[in-house]
């Protein structure tokens, strides 16, 4: 009874081995070729964003894609050499001539490369490019109603269209051949701007919206906390502390005087809401009275009125 069971296990093991061996055999793809869908060979386009797309090859595990400038016979720059498991790859080019090639790979080998040529020509057609804004920076804040807008030039552009809007819609539109434009707003608030290039037969895409805020409201007056007025304090162990009345304060200007501000001996910018007395450089002398007050400055450059004045005397 044991012998037939032994044969059964032997036959089962041989079958399992054959099945597993069959799974490990890679499909031979050496004589195959990757079929390219896009872009077509020798494509010349003003669109600088190219999607490379090919048919999936049976038996392929991945694909090796290479892009060079200007050609594989005369390489000045290797731009891409990457392995991809899918059937698409996107790359953003600068103007110029390029070649690219692709092959399929598996554990048993690879196909030959399929090579194509490509030309990116954005020198005249502006349709697929954008103007790069320079200033003001995104989310810029200012207390001036006069703002200078600027952007990088495009060689093919004859002029530029500047559009300025508030939260309710467009408020101004200008066409200029320059790469900057000064505009004076009539109101404060939040505004957006965008720029577009044009020539005799084409328009660029508008740049991404940038926002700016014109704010002419001064921050609230800071409130002095410590030390109490007319305090006698030890220089090495005491801070000047205060509270800001507004949330948008970037820093405070601390003023120190010996004569109730007929003149002043210090003007220090402080980002925190306190400062150690012995860090006020050069150091203050003991056995002298000092007066101090503050102004707050916000991110738009607005300045508060002075705080009240307190005085203290340093003791040894």
Residues 113 and 40 in one domain: yes
Cα 281 to the center of its chain, rounded Å: 38
According to DSSP, residue 168 is labeled T
Residue 193 lies in a domain: yes
Query: Which among 299, 289, 278 is positioned nearest to 216, based on CA atoms?
Result: 299
Q: Does some domain include residue 279?
A: yes
Asked if residue 246 and residue 186 are part of one domain, the reply reads no
Number of domains in the chain: 3
Q: Is the pLDDT of residue 97 over 50?
A: yes
Task: Answer for the pair 48, 120: CB distance below 8 angstroms, yes or no.
Answer: yes
Give the percent of the chain with pLDDT over 90. Answer: 69
Specify the pLDDT at position 27. 87
Q: Is residue 108 part of a domain?
A: yes
Domain that holds residue 99: 36-120
Q: In terms of domains, do 193 and 227 share one?
A: no
Mean pLDDT of the chain: 89
User: Within this chain, do residues 235 and 262 fall inside the same structural domain, yes or no?
Assistant: yes
Do 202 and 178 lie in one domain? The reply is yes
**Domain co-membership, 171 together with 242:** no
Task: Report d(CA 62, CA 64) in Å as an integer.
Answer: 7
**Is the domain of 245 the same as that of 200?**
no
Residue that is last in its domain, among 214, 239, 263: 214
- The pLDDT value recorded for residue 35 is 96
170-216 pLDDT, tens digit each: 999 999 999 999 999 999 999 999 999 999 889 999 999 999 999 99
- How would you list the strands of the sheet with 146-151, edge to edge? 133-135, 146-151, 180-184
Cα–Cα dist 232/240, whole Å? 13
Q: Is the domain of 229 the same as that of 306?
A: yes
Residue 10 pLDDT > 80: no
Residue where a domain stops, chosen among 190, 214, 238: 214
CATH code for position 285: 2.60.40.10
pLDDT of residue 283: 72
Question: b/e for 160-169, b at 16 or more Cβ within 10 A?
Answer: bbbbbbeeee
The SS3 call for residue 162 is strand
The answer to whether residue 1 sits within a structural domain is no
Alpha helices in the chain (DSSP H): 2-24
Closest CA to 62 of 79, 80, 86, 38: 86
Residue 193 in contact with residue 162, Cβ under 8 Å? Answer: yes
Distance of alpha carbon 219 from alpha carbon 249, whole angstroms: 7
Q: Last residue of a domain, which of 120, 141, 170?
A: 120
């Amino acid at each position: 009874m044991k012998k037939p069971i032994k044969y059964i296990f032997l036959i089962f093991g041989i079958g399992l081995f054959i099945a597993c061996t069959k799974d490990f055999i890679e499909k031979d793809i050496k004589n195959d070729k990757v079929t390219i869908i896009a872009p077509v060979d020798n494509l010349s386009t003003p669109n600088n964003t190219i999607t490379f797309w090919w048919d999936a090859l049976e038996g392929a595990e991945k694909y090796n894609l290479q892009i060079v400038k200007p050609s594989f016979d005369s390489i000045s720059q290797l731009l891409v050499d990457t392995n991809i498991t899918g059937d698409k790859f996107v790359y953003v080019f600068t103007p110029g001539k390029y070649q690219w090639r692709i092959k399929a790979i598996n554990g048993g080998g690879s196909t030959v490369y399929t090579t194509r040529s490509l030309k990116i020509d954005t020198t005249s057609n502006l349709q697929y490019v954008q103007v790069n804004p320079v200033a003001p920076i995104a989310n810029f804040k200012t207390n001036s109603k006069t703002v200078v807008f600027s952007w990088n030039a495009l060689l093919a552009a004859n002029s530029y269209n500047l559009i300025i809007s508030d939260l309710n819609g467009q408020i101004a539109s200008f066409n200029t051949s320059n790469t900057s434009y000064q505009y004076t707003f009539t109101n404060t608030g939040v505004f957006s701007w965008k720029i577009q290039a044009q020539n005799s037969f084409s328009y660029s895409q508008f740049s991404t919206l940038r926002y700016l805020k014109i704010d002419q409201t001064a921050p609230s007056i800071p409130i002095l906390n410590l030390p109490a007025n007319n305090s006698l304090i030890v220089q090495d162990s005491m801070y000047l502390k205060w509270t800001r009345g507004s949330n948008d304060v970037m820093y405070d200007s601390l003023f120190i005087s010996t004569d109730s501000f007929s003149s002043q001996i210090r003007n220090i910018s402080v980002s925190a809401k306190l400062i150690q007395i012995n860090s006020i450089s050069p150091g203050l002398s003991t056995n002298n009275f000092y007066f101090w007050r503050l102004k707050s400055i916000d991110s738009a450059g607005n300045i508060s009125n002075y705080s009240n004045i307190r005085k203290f005397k340093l003791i040894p």
